[in-house]
Amino acid sequence: MKIDKFVMSATNKKNVIEIIRTKGPIHKAEISRLLGLSLPTVMKFTDELEVSGAVKVIGKAESSGGKCPELLEFVSDAFYIVGVDVGRNAMKAVVMDLGGNITGKAIVKTGDDVNPEVTVARLIELIKTVIRKSKVPFDKLLGMGIGMPGILDAENGNVIFSPDFNWENIPLLEPLKKHFNLSQILINSNQAMAMGERWFGAGKQSDYFICINLGHGIGSAIVEKGEIYYGSCGSSGEVGHMTLEKDGPVCECGNHGCLEILASGNAIALQAQQAVHDGEESAMSQMANGQNSQIDAKIVFDAARENDKTAAQIINTAVEYIGIGIANYINLLDPDMIIINGGIVNAGDILLERLIPVIKERQMKFAGRKVKIKIGALGENATSMGAAAMILKEYINAGCNGKGIYRQTASHV
């Protein structure tokens, strides 16, 4: 088989960058040894990277005889990236450097009116605010990644269908481009969350993991060989719409008894509101200052932690469904890790201690033997950092040759 020399060279350069980024400070002979490349080949790439400012010499290593080799490091503050998490409850934005260090952060409530024009206007203001707060000069910004729930046409920057926002066929990147002359990438929120954990969080060492997003809804993303497994049209990972009760309540998607309608943050809140409305004894009403419609998943978790019987029962039932969903997932895909993240995780530290026994009980004997269940390391920043990481990935794929040479939108779906 004939291998294209140009493609091979680009791949080798990318591998050199990745070794320096993840294992640096490192010297050239060690890079050569780890990648199986000749020293002159490694030096050709590291010289180019030093010239472009993507890597720098930060000192010398101890010598075992002869000249002390120079230590190279990836330059994290060469550029900065904007990452946005467009959530149904809140929109969050960060500016981070290429090492995932956050230099600016902003958050705004999404609000009840999610008309696309209103939401996009709010999004533009949020991005302007986070750039201003970060104090990063505009010419140091490499691009922006937007994490959005739903099924997307990432190539053209459009939202095909987002049940959370009730949007169909809405152009999202086009209006943003009018305001920001930056490379932009649109990625599904759950997939962004998984990539955040993969690049900077709990999944750094794992090539096969599933990231579950337990929030207002329930979503997930599958990581295979370090990359998102998209499926044939990019809609993989919809674990929230796995049917668990054939005649169960009707879900937003139209199906009956989906995991999401039984156990999401929204479902937990609605079940608690209903229980209080039905006159069941509970401290939750008081905790919501008597306003039952204000009982949210956090209140239910807080009450369960205080041994409120009604709240504990709702949480236990929800956790059981979540555990069954995850056990099904493990049986099917045999991941080495399940990373759990999202609003429910932030609200309830009792989640994991109740969830693990359910998964163990429901998981098939000997299936998924390696799997570890972990809470995500990036908390509420996972989706925005992961969306930003997609720009970093494009930068590295393009050989770190500065701004403007890679595609304006992603073509990964």
Which residues lie near Zn ion (CB under 5 A)? 241, 251, 253, 255, 258
Between 253 and 373, CB nearer to Zn ion:
253
Minimum distance from residue 355 beta carbon to Zn ion (Å)? 21
Closer to Zn ion at the Cβ: 49 or 251?
Answer: 251
Q: Would you say 203 or 240 has its CB closer to Zn ion?
A: 240
- Give 349: exposed, middle or buried? Use CB within 10 Å, 0-12, 13-18, 19+: exposed
Interatomic CA distance for residues 81 and 381, integer angstroms: 14
Considering beta carbons, is residue 61 or 253 the nearer one to Zn ion? 253
The distance of closest approach from Cβ of residue 94 to Zn ion in the complex, given in angstroms and rounded to an integer, is 30
Q: Which is nearer to Zn ion, 145 or 150 (CB)?
A: 150
Nearer to Zn ion, 10 or 253 (CB): 253
3-class DSSP assignment, residue 255: coil
- Phi/psi for 282 (5° steps) reads -165, 150
Structure tokens at 358: 């359910």
φ/ψ region of 111 (left if φ > 0, alpha if ψ in -120 to 50, else beta) reads: left
Question: Least CB distance from residue 323 to Zn ion, whole Å?
Answer: 18
What is the full DSSP assignment across 152-203? EETTTTEEEEETTTTEEEEE-HHHHHHH--SEEEEEEHHHHHHHHHHHHSTT
**Minimal distance in Å, beta carbon 261 to Zn ion?**
6
**Coil vs helix vs strand at 253:** coil
| Between 158 and 255, CB nearer to Zn ion | 255
- Contact in structure between 311 and 274 (CB atoms under 8 Å): no
Measuring CA to CA, which residue among 319, 317, 287, 281 is closest to residue 300?
A: 287
CB of residue 241 to Zn ion, shortest distance in Å:
4
CB contact burial 108-143 (16+ within 10 A = b; e otherwise):
eebeeebebeebbebbeebbebbbeebebeeeebbb
- Shortest approach of Zn ion to residue 258 CB, angstroms? 3
| Burial environment of residue 6 by CB neighbours within 10 A (0 to 12, 13 to 18, 19 or more) | exposed
* Shortest distance in whole angstroms from residue 264 CB to Zn ion: 10
